């Protein structure tokens, strides 16, 4: 789709679109925290590397709000943007895919192949406004079901930044016996009032758009949906991701040449809004930001300190010194609450987005985390029947062979 073509009603991936490197796993029904059962859940995911026979080398990489499973690889059919952590994941890189089997799922409630509001409900219609609230804990439970289907009983590392860091921390708090190592980057243990305030403004921009139609806009023609509202939301969010210093250095208060004479920084935000509209969905934006707003690892666990004390993983916590969305104090709180956690600071002019920019220091910290000894025994292989429902027959056969070998070794 060219930049001059009409803006789509939704940028969600749909069955029939090029799958790219996605794989798919049908998880069945998922009981949500709310008590609602979400039927026929599917997660899309990508993988790199080879799973060890005992499944001990699996690494879970969790994306941020508008990210997706395409951690590594070029922009191509099915993937409009290049991998967002190409400099950290791959052969010979800190998360070395010659050694580790890396899985990156598209989050539940998102719009890049996993079940979300743009997906078809069992009645054949889009979920739209009917899609239920999902929490960060619900998203982790879906990822747990995916791991079990793939024959993975535990992770050598769970790593994520921003919203991905929320899920990574929830993994280590909610399922400590399944996480050997943990890396939480530019994230927090609970959403702050400031974050919820920014999220509220973004949600209001989407909901107030005439084309939003209460969330049931999928039958509208291109150019007539909630694109303007989603674009405003993106402009607000992107501003919180960067720093005043960087924007001043890049744009100052300069205007573009005629005919429009607009400020350069406004044009920059327009560009990012246009890009997101073409690859994202307004309803998913609302669902995911609502999940982030409700994030609190201490809820119903005796508070944040008690929840963090449950973590047994060897832990790396990283903050960005110029992050105004997830300030350093949020990362420090996590590090202080987890025994023997290592805390480091990225020095960056890019603010919150500093965790996405190539950082030699971050690369070294992740290498060091993965180079250390695991705090847990190697993950066992679960029964091969758990792999049913995933769209990779060759890998299911690998699990069958591994399981057979495990049985032969058993006394």
User: Of the listed 79, 175, 323, 359, which one is catalytic?
Assistant: 323
**Pairwise CA distance, residues 325 & 166, whole Å:** 14
Check if 56 is active-site. Answer: no
Check if 133 is active-site. Answer: no
**Pairwise CA distance, residues 164 & 160, whole Å:** 4
Q: Are 380 and 55 in contact (CB under 8 A)?
A: yes
Residue in the structure block whose two tokens are 């508070």: 303
User: Of the listed 10, 114, 119, 162, which one is catalytic?
Assistant: 162
Instruction: Categorise residue 338: left if φ over 0, alpha if ψ from -120 to 50, beta otherwise.
Output: beta
Asked if residue 249 belongs to a known ligand binding site, the reply is no
- Strand 314-320 relative to strand 101-105, pairing: unpaired
Give the CA count within 13 Å in the CB-facing half-sphere of 67. 25
Check if 175 is active-site. Answer: no
Tokens of 25: 């796993």
**Pairwise CA distance, residues 324 & 383, whole Å:** 46
User: Of the listed 63, 175, 238, 352, which one is catalytic?
Assistant: 352
Which residues are 193's β-sheet partners? none
SS3 46: strand
Asked if residue 219 belongs to a known ligand binding site, the reply is no
Please give the positions annotated as active site: 162, 323, 352
As annotated, the binding site for substrate includes 234, 353
């Amino acid at each position: 789709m060219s930049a001059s073509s009409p803006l789509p009603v939704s940028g969600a991936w749909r069955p029939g679109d090029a799958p790219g490197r996605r794989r798919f796993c049908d998880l069945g029904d998922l009981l949500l925290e709310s008590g609602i059962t979400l039927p026929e859940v599917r997660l899309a995911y990508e993988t790199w590397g080879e799973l060890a026979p005992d499944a001990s080398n699996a690494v879970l990489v969790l994306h941020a709000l508008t990210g997706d499973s395409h951690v590594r690889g070029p922009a191509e059919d099915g993937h409009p943007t290049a991998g967002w952590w190409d400099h950290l994941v791959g052969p010979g890189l800190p998360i070395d895919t010659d050694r580790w089997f890396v899985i990156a799922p598209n989050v539940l409630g998102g719009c890049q192949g996993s079940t979300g509001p743009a997906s078809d409900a069992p009645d054949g219609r889009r979920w739209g406004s009917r899609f239920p609230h999902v929490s960060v804990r619900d998203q982790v439970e879906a990822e747990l079901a995916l791991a079990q289907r793939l024959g993975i009983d535990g992770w050598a590392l769970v790593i994520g930044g921003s919203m991905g860091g929320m899920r990574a921390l929830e993994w280590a708090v909610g399922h400590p016996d399944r996480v050997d190592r943990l890396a939480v980057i530019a994230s927090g243990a609970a959403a702050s009032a400031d974050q919820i305030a920014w999220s509220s403004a973004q949600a209001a921009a989407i909901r107030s758009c005439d084309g939003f139609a209460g969330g049931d806009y999928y039958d509208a023609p291109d150019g007539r949906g909630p694109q303007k509202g989603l674009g405003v939301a993106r402009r607000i969010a992107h501003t919180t991701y960067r720093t005043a210093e960087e924007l001043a250095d890049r744009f100052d208060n300069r205007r573009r040449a005629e005919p429009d004479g607009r400020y350069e920084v406004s044009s920059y935000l327009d560009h990012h809004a246009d890009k997101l509209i073409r690859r994202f969905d307004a309803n998913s934006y609302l669902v995911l930001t609502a999940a982030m707003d409700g994030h609190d690892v201490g809820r119903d666990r005796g508070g944040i300190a008690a929840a963090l004390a449950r973590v047994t993983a060897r832990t790396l916590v990283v903050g960005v010194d110029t992050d105004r969305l997830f300030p350093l104090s949020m990362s420090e709180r996590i590090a202080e609450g987890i025994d023997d956690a290592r805390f480091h600071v990225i020095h960056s002019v890019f603010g919150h987005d500093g965790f996405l920019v190539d950082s030699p220091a971050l690369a070294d910290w992740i290498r060091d985390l993965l180079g250390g000894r695991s705090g847990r025994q190697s993950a066992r292989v679960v029964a091969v029947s758990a792999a049913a429902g995933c769209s990779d027959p060759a890998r299911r056969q690998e699990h069958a062979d591994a399981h057979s070998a495990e049985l032969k070794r058993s006394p």
